Structure 1
Amino acid sequence: MNNVKTIVRSAVVAGFGLAVSALPLAAEIEPVNLRLAHVVNEQDGFHAAATKFKELVGERSDGAISVEIFPNATLGDERTLLEGMQIGTVDMGVITNGPVSNFLEDMAVFELPFLFPSAEKAYEVLDGPIGQELLDRLSEVNLKGLAYAERGFRNLTNSERPVRSPEDIDGLKIRVMENPVYIDTFRELGADAIPMAWTEALTAMQQGTIDGQENPVGVVYSFKLNETQTNMTMTRHSYAPAIFVMGMPVWQKLSPEAQEIVVQAAQDAAEYERALNAEQQSEQLQALRDSGMEIVDDADLSAFSEAVAPVYEKYGAKFGDYLTRIQSALK
């Protein structure tokens, strides 16, 4: 590819109809290597998103922007990664929304229980004005929000018994993310909600010191949680975005041309991961069933929704007008 002419593409990117045109001059971009970290393994959707991002920025910058991926929490848990981004010791990552909201509390509005009726509705909000406004506000905490990938709709697993109603959760020790909305949601459902980092949770499940956890199907599958968790209930109790996020110290060193490539590549990689998750879920569910995991897909979700009403009473006002704006957008 010629470095001195504008890169213009109308080709379809990644098979998802993503047209790219009038990208900046690759010759104007100073070479940079970005260290991108995440806490899950190479079979997870986060890694697929990171790999797609690496491919896209390399291609669109004609190799000027390279990416080194650090999976499996090799650079630390999600909170540690975000703190590293703030001070410039970590460049960027794909980070679950829950830990991000510990830095900008309003981000947690997306994860209020039973807020989004479908993934498509979630995408409309995240990719629209509300979602982009909150991404931009991460600059308040020295972070640069690039795009929303996803963790997905979260479901409950446990090693004790099938769960079909909130009463079945009573007393179960459930790991949740270190996020007040999740903690209060599961306490309202009667669980002993235990916040801890994911790396610690894996050990706790193996040792039997916790009974269960909540995560999307892809996480249950890629981490082989069926080996310690005998039951999964398709509660879909919360939709969890994930964020392509960069430390502001690194972002500010990039040229405007490089910034444009990075933002667009993050969005395209996020959309790639969303589609991949949707494509793989039914296959993963069947594999979990075949392994002997009992999957409850007829739980009384209306009872779950009613049980967590106090969470809305507690947090609704804390998110300013974000909750009412999202509810209005969903009508």
Structure 2
Amino acid sequence: MQTRRTFAAGLASAACAAPFITAAVAQSATTIRVSTAAPPSDFLNRALERMKADLEAANVGIQFSVHPASTLFRQGTEVPALQRGNLEMCSMTTFEVAQQIPELGYFNRGYLFNDHAHLRRAFDGPIGEDYRKAVSSRMGIEILATHYLGTRQVSLRQKRNVKGPADLAGTKLRMPAGPEWLLLGRTLGVAPIPLGMPEVYLALKTGTIDGQENPLSIFSAAKLFEVSEQVVLTSHVVQPVFLAMAKPVWDKLNPDQKKAVETAAKAAATWGDTARLDDEKTIVETIKGRGLTVETPDLKLFREAADRAYTGADATKAWDLQGLKRVQSA
């Protein structure tokens, strides 16, 4: 009888202790939060959600959460948040890197990459390895994977005949903040208006801006077709975005965690690239089906305007021109 009572008491004690053991395990897990401006339905956010699922399945002691549409940190503040220890991960752009490493600003040049394959050749080879090393050593940020954000196109809230940059003169076009974004706006012939992505829909609806530029998959995911009449296929930037982690966070991960995070990030980026490329095959027809006009301008005129805008511009004086030629010939 005494043995039974002792056994029952042991079970009760274990049952009481179980919640505390679970809580202790949860508290010891490494927290990784990802901030991105991507809309919830965009492929970038969905890729990050796949990364979350893969890390949960790996069961390596990481609590991973994804925060889309700038709900955790405002667009443009994520990189400083990483560097101050206030955030673990974000979807960083080449424009944000160039703000701290100006000689790499040529990665922001309009009409730099010809297509997705050109982008991948650059970032998946020695060029990309050098880029990642520079970002790690000089910014304290680890690039885990490069994701194809898409090819940026112009959309307008009211239709107009656009054959070249001159036809966009005076257009108030939303662009992210930063000197190289504004310089990019000059190549398009527009009057660039800095504005956060979450504010774009209302600004188009009210006429605060005349248009915006984004990859068409993001244009669709953000439902900007509801407040636009026309898309102009300028194809001015074939854009990468980086799944990036604060280096102190990366350095604290154990080997199993590092392997799981890197594997999940690369798998997420590969899935995102494939899904976005597949979407790009049909999205123009989808946009036309929504009643929008799709204009195909003379890209030669835009490329010539880009050459003029970048020649001698203050923002380009720090660029590594040998690096630029290396990318162009990749």
* TM exceeding 0.5: yes
Residue 110 of structure 2 is aligned with which of 107, 113, 118?
113
Relative to the length of structure 1, the TM-score reads: 0.84
Aligned to 2:144: 146
Structure 1 residues 60-108: Cα deviation after superposition (integer angstroms, max 9, x where no partner): x335223111112111223222111111211102234333432333444
Q: Partners in 1 of 2:301 and 2:190 — Cα distance?
A: 15
Equivalent residue runs for 1:195-210 within 5 Å = 195-210=194-209
- The aligned amino acid for 1:283 is T
Aligned to 2:25: none
Residue 132 of structure 1 is aligned with which of 126, 129, 132?
129
Equivalent residue runs for 1:289-308 within 5 Å = 289-297=288-296, 299-308=297-306
Q: Partners in 2 of 1:215 and 1:102 — Cα distance?
A: 20
Equivalent residue runs for 1:97-246 within 5 Å = 97-139=94-136, 140-160=138-158, 161-246=160-245
Q: Which runs of 5+ in 2 are unaligned?
A: 1-27
Q: Post-superposition shift, 1:205?
A: 1.6
Number of aligned positions between the proteins: 298
Mapped contact 2:91–2:243 kept (Cα < 8 A): yes
Structure 1 residues 165-193: Cα deviation after superposition (integer angstroms, max 9, x where no partner): 11211110111122323311222432111
SS of aligned partner of 2:232: strand
Aligned to 2:329: 328
Q: Post-superposition shift, 1:109?
A: 2.2
Q: Partners in 2 of 1:162 and 1:240 — Cα distance?
A: 26
Mapped contact 1:162–1:294 kept (Cα < 8 A): no
Aligned to 1:26: none
- Asked whether 1:87 is paired with 2:114, we answer no
Mapped contact 1:98–1:178 kept (Cα < 8 A): no
Q: Partners in 1 of 2:113 and 2:154 — Cα distance?
A: 17
- The aligned amino acid for 1:305 is R
Q: Partners in 2 of 1:43 and 1:101 — Cα distance?
A: 28
Aligned to 1:38: 36
- The aligned amino acid for 2:225 is N
Aligned to 1:268: 267
Q: Pairwise CA RMSD of aligned residues?
A: 1.9
- The aligned amino acid for 1:156 is V
Q: Partners in 1 of 2:255 and 2:91 — Cα distance?
A: 22
Mapped contact 1:177–1:195 kept (Cα < 8 A): yes
Q: Partners in 1 of 2:99 and 2:198 — Cα distance?
A: 18
Q: Partners in 2 of 1:322 and 1:195 — Cα distance?
A: 28
SS of aligned partner of 1:90: coil
% identical aligned pairs: 27
Q: Post-superposition shift, 1:242?
A: 0.7
Larger radius of gyration: 2
- The aligned amino acid for 1:242 is V
Q: Post-superposition shift, 1:155?
A: 0.5
Measured at CA, do residues 144 and 78 of structure 1 come closer, stay the same or move farther in structure 2, by a change above 3 Å?
farther
Measured at CA, do residues 96 and 179 of structure 1 come closer, stay the same or move farther in structure 2, by a change above 3 Å?
same
Q: Which runs of 5+ in 1 are unaligned?
A: 1-29
